[in-house]
């Protein structure tokens, strides 16, 4: 029985491959930020939430997670102007920051 969405014919990247890559990224972050006092990780809602959750499970350096909600869309197309729907709780000046976004759709 096919458990894929009806529009999909095959899996391109398996769940195991994704998990392996998440662990590799976390290892690299752990190495690159091993000496920092605090790492600030910001996820852009809603698309980055699950990936960021998986990633932070493997981050060993001290870190804080926060989220922003942004919109650049009218009804169906990008307006080019980004609106902040939900901002960060704390200032991020002078922080070591990793921004996690699900898709970059306009290049602006």
Neighbour order of strands in the sheet with 96-100: 78-86, 63-73, 39-45, 96-100
In 3D space, the residue among 65, 41, 47 whose CA is nearest the CA of residue 105 turns out to be 47
27 is catalytic: no
Q: Tell me which DSSP letter residue 70 carries.
A: E
- Residues 4, 41: Cα–Cα separation, whole Å: 32
Active-site choice (27, 32, 87, 105): 105
Q: Which residues are catalytic?
A: 105
């Amino acid at each position: 029985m096919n458990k894929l969405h009806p529009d999909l014919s095959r899996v391109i990247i398996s769940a195991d491959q994704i998990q392996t890559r998440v662990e590799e990224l976390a290892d690299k972050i752990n190495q690159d930020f091993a000496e920092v006092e605090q790492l600030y990780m910001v996820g852009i809602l809603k698309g980055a939430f699950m990936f960021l959750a998986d990633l932070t499970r493997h981050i060993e350096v001290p870190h804080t997670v926060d989220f922003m909600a942004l919109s650049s869309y009218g009804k169906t197309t990008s307006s080019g102007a980004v609106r902040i729907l939900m901002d960060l709780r704390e200032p991020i000046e002078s922080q070591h920051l990793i921004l996690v976004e699900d898709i970059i759709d306009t290049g602006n």
